[in-house]
Amino acid sequence: MKEHIFNTLSDSRDYLHRFMNDAGNVEAIARAASVMIATLHGGKTIYSCGNGGSMSDAMHFAEELTGRYRQNRRGLSAAAISDAGHISCVANDFGYDYIFSRYLEARARPGDCLLAISTSGSSRNVIKAAEFARENGVNVVSLTGKSGSALGALATVDISAGLSSFADRVQEVHIKIIHILIELIEREFCPENY
């Protein structure tokens, strides 16, 4: 059992090491943070969406901005598309592919930003949300698991964690990216906290 634990931690470390040693990934995170910071400076909102574990990550991202990350500060405008009533209504009336795009249709405005998360980069409902966003002046930051994905092609900035045999490795890098984005946003708006 202990050997398995060590091997799992080593595999996770190696995957993160490959990601962080690609200068393009660091640059993509910086560009994504700049897009999000500009969104908030413009008095706009950052929306986030994903399925399963990616929805949990989308919710975590939004609550860290509206609540707090490391220290107390004013709330920042963010919302995860995760309302069960909305999701069940739209899935029933229009189909599951539209659960995120319909929310954006109702709320998003030009100048807003969408954080679109999909480990495969091919989730139809996340792609439809990104398509709506791009057609309506909403910037898209995507977190994907491989470069060249359908979702990544729609993004203003795509951050690809890199190929992995398992989604959990991709999700581990995604949550690290999310925490970095939140910290960079906080450093811009509340430098006194750092």
Which DSSP symbol is given to 123?
-
User: What is the predicted pLDDT for the residue at 95?
Assistant: 98
Helix axes 84-93, 99-107, angle to 10 degrees: 110
Superfamily for 2-193? Glucose-6-phosphate isomerase like protein; domain 1 (3.40.50.10490)
User: What is the predicted pLDDT for the residue at 182?
Assistant: 98
Domain boundaries, the chain: 2-193
User: What is the predicted pLDDT for the residue at 163?
Assistant: 72
User: What is the predicted pLDDT for the residue at 82?
Assistant: 98
Q: Report yes or no: 147 and 96 within 8 Å, Cβ to Cβ.
A: no
- pTM, 2 dp: 0.96
Q: Residues 5, 178, 96, CA angle at the centre, nearest 5°?
A: 95
Q: What is the Cα–Cα distance from 118 to 124, expressed in whole angstroms?
A: 10
User: What is the predicted pLDDT for the residue at 172?
Assistant: 95
* pLDDT tens sequence across 119-169: 999 999 999 999 999 999 999 999 999 889 999 999 999 999 987 777 889
Residue ranges of the chain with pLDDT lower than 70?
Answer: none
User: What is the predicted pLDDT for the residue at 147?
Assistant: 87
Q: Report yes or no: 53 and 167 within 8 Å, Cβ to Cβ.
A: yes
